[in-house]
């Protein structure tokens, strides 16, 4: 199986879906001649032409609205946001139009559109360009929200998102674009709404998504050396949450640690904890722990940036807390 970078897997998914369906097109800032700010659309302008790979001006609200209108009349737009930080300017189109068209039209209108781009910390980009905003979008009915961690999942979930008849929000960890992994060739579709056990374990469940998966894996490898078997559940989809998979892993290990890059208050992890405590409370041997970004705006300095985010050491400390091995 070929090994691709995350960005290459996304590029492959875009190309395959555009070959498969002439209604699919890509629009965003610098997606054409510049090949995308993170080179996800490398070579697509030459392959598909300027009618389907469209360079937009710096006007997130404007080209998001253009995409919504195109979806309403039967096209399948993919709207690339240079970062989800900039997409804050497009929230009105995403939330008040894309998310609500099917409901407000009594099912007469569909909105098959994908909004995608990088989220989370990028590396010394400070507070306005380092936000993990997936919880904001997971809040709204009418949207599906996905956040794949691996190149294979990125390819498979983008293809699913493009084929979905509902608006899909796709978060791509900004530091994941150069991550490599095996990616199936050709038709590889990962269903939206299905979590994945990335590592089997029996002592504790680490539930996470996107870039935090890699910190969870580092933590699990270190814990294994201490005789602690950690299971890692990669949610992959944040709306709808895969409740069945969440409850299955908790009932298996009886302990859970939730890891998310975003802030703690009203985070996705809080909803995961709610599912566990309301439907599997009697299965727990310890209170659920959360590891989140610190409740501050991101600093520019590298040492403060690192201190702000979850890492393997913080996950290990949380795991030992649910195992009552603090200080071990």
pLDDT one-digit tens code per residue, 275-299: 999 999 999 999 999 999 999 999 8
pLDDT at 204 over 90: yes
Check 129, 134, 217, 305 and give the catalytic one.
129
Which of 133, 43, 149, 23 is CA-nearest to residue 81? 133
Whether 60 is catalytic is yes
> What kind of architecture, by CATH, is found in domain 196-322?
3-Layer(aba) Sandwich (3.40)
Write out pLDDT tens, residues 83-120: 999 999 999 999 999 999 999 999 999 999 999 999 99
Write out pLDDT tens, residues 125-156: 888 888 999 999 999 999 999 999 999 999 99
pTM score: 0.96
- Burial of 150 from C-beta contacts in 10 A (0-12 / 13-18 / 19+): buried
Whether 134 is catalytic is no
> What kind of architecture, by CATH, is found in domain 3-182?
3-Layer(aba) Sandwich (3.40)
CB 177 within 8 A of CB 5: yes
Q: How does DSSP classify residue 301?
A: S
- In this chain, the answer to whether the domains covering 3-182 and 196-322 adopt an identical fold is yes
Sketch the domain layout of the chain as residue ranges. Answer: 3-182, 196-322
Check 60, 174, 217, 260 and give the catalytic one.
60
Write out pLDDT tens, residues 19-49: 999 999 999 999 999 999 999 999 999 999 9
Write out pLDDT tens, residues 221-239: 999 999 999 999 999 999 9
């Amino acid at each position: 199986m070929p090994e691709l970078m995350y960005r290459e897997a996304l590029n492959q998914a875009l190309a395959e879906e555009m070959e498969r369906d002439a209604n699919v097109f890509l629009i965003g800032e610098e997606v054409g001649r510049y090949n995308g700010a993170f080179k996800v659309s490398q070579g697509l302008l030459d392959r598909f032409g300027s009618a389907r790979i469209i360079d937009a001006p710096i006007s997130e609200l404007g080209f998001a609205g253009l995409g919504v209108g195109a979806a309403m009349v039967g096209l399948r737009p993919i709207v690339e946001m240079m970062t989800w930080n900039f997409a804050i300017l497009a929230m009105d189109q995403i939330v008040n139009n894309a998310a609500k068209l099917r409901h407000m039209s009594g099912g007469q209108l569909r909105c098959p559109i994908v909004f995608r781009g990088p989220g989370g910390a990028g590396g010394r980009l400070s507070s306005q360009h380092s936000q993990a905003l997936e919880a904001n979008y997971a809040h709204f009915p009418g949207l599906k929200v996905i956040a794949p961690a691996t190149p294979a999942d990125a390819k498979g979930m983008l293809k699913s998102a493009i084929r979905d008849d509902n608006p899909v929000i796709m978060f791509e960890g900004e530091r994941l674009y150069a991550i490599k992994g095996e990616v199936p060739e050709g038709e590889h579709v990962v269903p939206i709404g299905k979590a994945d056990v990335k590592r089997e374990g029996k002592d504790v469940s680490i539930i996470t998504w996107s870039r935090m998966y890699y910190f969870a894996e580092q933590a699990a490898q270190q814990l294994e050396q201490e005789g602690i078997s950690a299971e890692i559940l990669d949610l992959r989809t944040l709306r709808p949450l895969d409740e069945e998979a969440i409850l299955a892993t908790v009932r298996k290990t009886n302990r859970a640690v939730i890891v998310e890059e975003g802030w703690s208050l009203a985070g996705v992890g809080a909803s995961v904890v709610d599912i566990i405590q309301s439907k599997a409370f009697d299965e727990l041997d310890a209170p659920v722990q959360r590891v989140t970004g610190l409740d501050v705006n991101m600093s520019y300095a590298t040492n403060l940036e690192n201190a702000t985010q979850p890492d393997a050491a913080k996950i290990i400390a949380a795991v030992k807390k649910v195992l009552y091995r603090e200080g071990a």
